[in-house]
Amino acid sequence: MQCPETARCLPAYIVDELVPSERETFEAHLLGCGECSAELASFEGVKNALHAWSDAPLPASAAAHTAAPAPASAPVRTPLAAAARPAL
């Protein structure tokens, strides 16, 4: 990563947190910078893969497993902070 704009603006651009003037400036930069364009394309590929993954249906065995209620005999988990706190 050599282009300083990649680190400075690309993460904010991807999550749409640039103000409009910064966005316009960065989009103009994208047109002329192969490094930033390539980085953006790779992030878009990951985002699309994650989106496709989240839309995939669960296998029937996994869906049945996640729909089952916890057994009544399941132990109640105590938060670590509460367990470590001394009794007063």
Minimum CB separation of residue 11 from Zn ion in Å reads 13
**Which one among 14, 22, 25, 33 touches Zn ion, defined by CB under 5 A?**
33
> For residues 29 and 36, is the Cβ–Cβ distance under 8 A?
yes
Q: Does 36 bind Zn ion (CB under 5 A)?
A: yes
Q: Single out the segment in contact with Zn ion by CB under 5 A; choices: 14-22, 31-39, 40-48, 56-64.
A: 31-39
From residue 59, alpha-carbon distances to 11, 31, 39, 56, 67 in Å are: 34, 42, 33, 9, 12
Q: Which residues bind Zn ion (CB under 5 A)?
A: 3, 5, 33, 36
